[in-house]
């Protein structure tokens, strides 16, 4: 095998978590297929999507898991988290309640997966400027307090979507390679 072939053997499981309707499925749709669903129901998601990524000039694959809407019932199973090395912990900047849930999601993540899972706090729907209920400073402060990466994204206008996934996978790659 050439070095490039070996790099392709990297397969990192990354999970999307956060309250219902914060935009998890659309972040994945935007990242993996450059699609957006204005009226998506919780059923649009696939179980997971494998995405090839270029990290430091190496090709790695991220296997990104999306919930099938079970987060509404607070019943995301341990199988969902099993083997995850990365997580996007998503809230909606226009709904404070979803930001207040982050602590609970973080507990669940740490209960079901390795403490060292690389995690980014994602404030999605940054395009909804007039409806904002959570400031950027609040998101940053929580991320710093919890030792998480942080980014605000919009699956609607695409801003920072690739960057958010890239941040997590690059860090995983740097730790594991
Ligand atoms: P999930 O339940 O977390 O998977 O959320 P969805 O991806 O199904 O999105 C829930 C709703 O929010 C849908 O109506 C989406 O069109 C909308 N949505 C998702 N991301 C964004 C975004 O970045 N901006 C705006 N304005 N709406 C979004
Ligand atoms: Mg969904």
Task: Select from 2, 1, 82, 58 the least CA-distant residue to 177.
Answer: 58
Counting ligands in written order, the one closest to the CA of 67 is: 2
Mutate to test the pocket of ligand 1, among 21, 80, 99 (most ligand atoms within 8 A of CB): 21
CA distance 77 to 73: 11
**What does residue 118 show for φ and ψ, rounded to 5 degrees?**
-70, 120
pLDDT the model gives residue 6? 56
Confidence (pTM): 0.93
ipTM over the 0.95 cut-off? yes
Higher pLDDT: 150 or 40? It is: 150
pLDDT tens-digit profile of 129-169? 999 999 999 999 999 999 999 999 999 999 999 999 999 99
Whether the per-residue pLDDT at 90 is higher than 90: the answer is: yes
Ligand 1 pocket, CB under 6 A: 20-26, 37-40, 42, 124-125, 127-128, 154-156
φ/ψ (deg, to 5) at 66: -120, 145
């Amino acid at each position: 095998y050439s070095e490039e072939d070996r790099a392709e053997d990297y397969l990192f499981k990354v999970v999307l978590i956060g309250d219902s309707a914060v935009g998890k499925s659309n972040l994945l749709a935007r990242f993996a297929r450059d699609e957006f669903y204005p009226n998506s129901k919780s059923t649009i998601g696939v179980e997971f999507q494998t995405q090839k990524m270029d990290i430091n000039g190496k090709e790695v694959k991220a296997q990104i898991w999306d919930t099938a809407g079970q987060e509404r019932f607070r019943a995301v199973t341990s199988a969902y988290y099993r083997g995850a090395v990365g997580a996007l912990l998503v809230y909606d900047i226009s709904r404070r309640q979803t930001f207040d849930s982050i602590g609970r999601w973080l507990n669940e993540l740490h209960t079901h997966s390795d403490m060292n899972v690389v995690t980014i706090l994602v404030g999605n729907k940054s395009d909804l400027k007039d409806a904002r209920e959570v400031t950027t400073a609040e998101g940053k402060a929580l991320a710093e307090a919890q030792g998480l990466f942080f980014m605000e994204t919009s699956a609607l206008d695409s801003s920072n979507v690739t960057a958010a996934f890239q941040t997590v996978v690059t860090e995983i790659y740097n730790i594991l390679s």
